[in-house]
Amino acid sequence: MIEPALNPESGFRRLRIDLAYDGTNYAGWGIQPDQRTIQGVVEEAISRFVRHPIKSVVAGRTDAGVHATGQVIHVDIPANTVASRYHPDQEIFEPENFKFRINQMLDSDIRLLRVSDAPINFDARYSATARRYRYKLLDGNRDLMPQDRLSAVTWFRELDIELMNQASEQLLGKHDFLTFCRYREGATTLRTLYDFRWSRDAAGFVICDVAADGFGWNMVRNLVGAGVCVGEGRFDPSWMRQILEGAARVSDSYVFPAAGLTLIAVDYPEPESSDLGPILTPTPFGG
- Non-local (6+) Cβ contacts of 122 within 8 A are 14, 16, 74, 268, 271, 276
φ/ψ of 203, rounded to 5, equals -85, 0
Out of 67, 74, 131, 191, the only residue in the binding site for a copy of itself (CB under 8 A) is: 67
CA–CA distance, 1 with 249 (Å, rounded to integer): 40
Catalytic residue among 18, 22, 63, 236: 63
CA–CA distance, 144 with 139 (Å, rounded to integer): 9
From 260, 262, 237, 250, select the one nearest 180 (Cα to Cα): 250
Q: Does 207 bind a copy of itself (CB under 8 A)?
A: no
Q: Does 27 bind a copy of itself (CB under 8 A)?
A: no
HSE, CB side, 13 Å, CA atoms: give it for residue 162: 0
Closest approach, Cβ 276 to a copy of itself, in A, equals 26
Out of 21, 135, 198, 268, the only residue in the binding site for a copy of itself (CB under 8 A) is: 21
CA–CA distance, 210 with 90 (Å, rounded to integer): 47
Instruction: Choose the stretch contacting a copy of itself; rule: CB under 8 A; options: 18-26, 58-66, 76-84, 186-194.
Output: 18-26
201 annotated active-site:
no
Out of 34, 89, 143, 201, the only residue in the binding site for a copy of itself (CB under 8 A) is: 143
φ/ψ of 194, rounded to 5, equals -90, -30
CA–CA distance, 98 with 16 (Å, rounded to integer): 12
Q: Does 149 bind a copy of itself (CB under 8 A)?
A: yes
Out of 37, 39, 127, 151, the only residue in the binding site for a copy of itself (CB under 8 A) is: 151
Q: Does 150 bind a copy of itself (CB under 8 A)?
A: yes
Out of 111, 175, 182, 197, the only residue in the binding site for a copy of itself (CB under 8 A) is: 111
Closest approach, Cβ 232 to a copy of itself, in A, equals 20
Give residue 120's identity as a one-letter amino acid code: I
CA–CA distance, 212 with 172 (Å, rounded to integer): 9
The site for a copy of itself (CB under 8 A) is made up of 20-22, 67, 69, 103, 108-113, 143-147, 149-151
> Which residues are annotated as catalytic?
63
